[in-house]
Amino acid sequence: MKSHYQILIIGGGTAGIMTAGQLLRKNKKLDIAIIEPSETHYYQPAWTLVGAGTYDFNKTKKPMAEVMPNGVDWIKDKAVGFDPEKNTVAMESSGDITYDYLVVATGLVMEPSMIKGLPEALEKGVACSNYIDPEHTWETIRNFKKGNALFTQPTTPIKCGGAPQKIAYLAADYFGKQGLKDSTNVIFATPGSVIFGVKEIRETLNKVIDRYGIHFKPFYAPKEIDIENRIVHFSHTAPEENRCVINEDNELGEKMIGDVDIQVPFDMLHIAPPQAAPKFIRESILANEAGWLDVDHFSMQHNKYSNVFGLGDVAALPTAKTGAAVRKQVPIVVDNIISLLGGKTAENHSYNGYSSCPLVTGFGKMTLAEFDYNNNFIPDPKLKRMLVFNSAKEHWRLWMLKKYGLPYLYWNKMMKGKNV
């Protein structure tokens, strides 16, 4: 194995594969390696549909060898540390590798231990999560008969911020179709203040919540899971004047101890685990104070080391961590690296925070949230022409896009280094 590469990419996920593919389309003679220990590549956006029993889990995965671009060296090892002063990445078992340019695209990792009792709840099957095992989620939803179905998310950034509510809508729709609406309380509890930050989408989702009779609980931050008694303990994150008062004998069986501990009993629990950058990133000189890769918000160039770029879920960008965001970030990173290779500066600062969240609101229904750093609703012009309707509203065509169109584009365009 070589010990030096012109361009070294850490991560064989969406961001890493796309970056390598697009670089090679610009210049197939580039000397590129991807560090990736996994043998399998997953299309995770479909896991929401797997969790609702409407997509085959096996169709969400391919051997890593199939998606690895022709012309790159695949280093099947783990990166464990950096020395950016010496342009070096330390490897778990194959020694140090040096680079001219480094692209950090590691994604993020699940950190269930940040909520007390969550690792045990997941291990024992008391909690389910589309982020970890979507097939178990579907099994849990299918076997649920009555009581509190609680859906929640952590205070950390998470990949696809809309995913915890999508599965709540699909479950509510499924329960209704099974005649369980009257015997079921679907609860969506979030540390956030609103259901969604983009006004046009929020208006649609508030109607969805009303339609299903979902109990929406803003300002609820999960802090502990009591497995034995099947209770989730939440902190109340609202300012004191906005805090709700929970009365005894309410239909959910909620209790409030003092003014900070809210207890919600559950018969079914779906949770997005807390998430963070990989440990070796968090503890490195390349991370910001919050532990994410410290990059410029518009160029994805590292704020201290000009030959280092970071994109995708690991990057400290104040926008949603989605594949759609990666799709817009990659061409800018590629453009900047090509400029640097040509002796110029990285002058492409055009990333506006674009991200998109396909919010499935029921079987055969979806709304598409597309937004920038300022939460402006910015529908993609190409998509707008194709769909010819307001994508902030629910539509069956958007469901078809989610279930069939986006997976096709992912495997056949994005993974092949084509601009989409």
Return the pLDDT at 268: 98
Q: What is the reported pTM? A: 0.96
Look at residue 381 in the predicted model and tell me its pLDDT: 80
Element (H, E) at 14: helix 14-26
Query: How far is 371 from 373, CA to CA, in rounded Å?
Result: 7
Lowest mean pLDDT among 33-42, 249-258, 324-333: 249-258
Cβ–Cβ under 8 Å, residues 101 and 339: no
Residues 127-153: tens digit of each pLDDT:
999 999 999 999 999 999 999 999 999
| 42, pLDDT greater than 70 | yes
Average pLDDT, the chain: 95
CA atoms within 13 A on the CB side of 149: 32
Topology of domain 4-108+277-350, per CATH?
FAD/NAD(P)-binding domain (3.50.50)
- Counting every residue written for the chain, the total comes to 420
Q: How far apart are CA 86 and CA 83, in angstroms?
A: 6
Q: Flag whether pLDDT at 249 surpasses 80.
A: no
Q: Which pLDDT value is given to residue 6?
A: 98
Across 263-283, average pLDDT = 97
Tell me the β-bridge partners of 99. 5
User: Which residues, other chains included, contact 125 with Cβ-Cβ below 8 Å and sequence gap of 6+?
Assistant: 136, 140
Return the amino acid letter for 247. N
For residue 188, the tally of other CB atoms under 10 A from its CB is 25
Alpha carbon distance 417, 78 (integer Å): 24
Q: Are the folds of 4-108+277-350 and 113-271 the same?
A: yes
Using DSSP's 3-state secondary structure scheme, residue 243 falls into coil
Q: Could you read off the pLDDT of 157-206 as tens digits, one per residue?
A: 999 999 999 999 999 999 999 999 999 999 999 999 999 999 999 999 99
Percent of the chain with pLDDT over 70: 97
- For residues 165 and 151, the answer to whether their CB atoms sit within 8 Å is yes
Q: Are 149 and 267 in contact (CB under 8 A)?
A: yes
Question: Distance between CA atoms of 207 and 386, rounded to whole angstroms?
Answer: 26
| Residue in the structure block whose two tokens are 């303990």 | 233
Query: For residue 261, what are the contacts with CB-CB under 8 A and spacing of at least 6?
Result: 233, 234, 235
What is the C-alpha end-to-end distance of the chain, expressed in Å? 34
pLDDT of residue 220: 95
Residue ranges per structural domain of the chain:
4-108+277-350, 113-271
- In this model, does residue 123 exceed pLDDT 80? yes
> Which residue intervals of 219-297 are DSSP H helices?
279-282
High-pLDDT (> 90) share of the chain, %: 90
With beta carbons less than 8 A apart as the criterion, state whether 223 and 401 touch: no
Q: What token pair was written down for 224?
A: 């502990």
The predicted structure's pLDDT at residue 242: 66
Is residue 388 over pLDDT 70? Answer: no
Q: Is 275 exposed, middle or buried (0-12, 13-18, 19+ CB in 10 A)?
A: buried
Can you give the pLDDT at residue 257? Answer: 85
d(CA 10, CA 284): 14
Tell me the one-letter amino acid at 325. A
Q: Is the pLDDT assigned to residue 118 strictly greater than 70?
A: yes
Estimate the share of the chain in helix, then strand, then coil, as percent rounded to the nearest 5: 35, 25, 40
**Which residue from 331, 334, 303, 297 is spatially nearest to 316, judged by alpha carbons?**
297
Q: How far is CA 300 from CA 103, 335, 337, in A?
A: 10, 11, 11
pLDDT one-digit tens code per residue, 327-382: 999 999 999 999 999 999 999 999 999 999 999 999 999 999 999 999 999 998 87
State the DSSP code for 318. Answer: S
With 80 as the cut, is the pLDDT of residue 284 above it? yes
Residues noted as catalytic: 160, 357
Confidence of residue 238 (pLDDT cuts 50, 70, 90): confident
pLDDT (average), residues 96-123 = 98
> Are the C-beta atoms of 44 and 60 separated by less than 8 Å?
yes
| Angle in degrees, 0-180, between the axes of helices 163-177 and 134-143, rounded to the nearest 10 | 30
Closest CA to 5 of 94, 87, 86: 87
Mean pLDDT of 260-278: 96
pLDDT of 322: 97
Is the model's pLDDT at 221 over the cut of 80? Answer: yes
User: Is the CB of residue 61 less than 8 Å from the CB of residue 268?
Assistant: no
Fold classification of 113-271 is: FAD/NAD(P)-binding domain (3.50.50)
Mean predicted confidence (pLDDT) in 216-238? 95
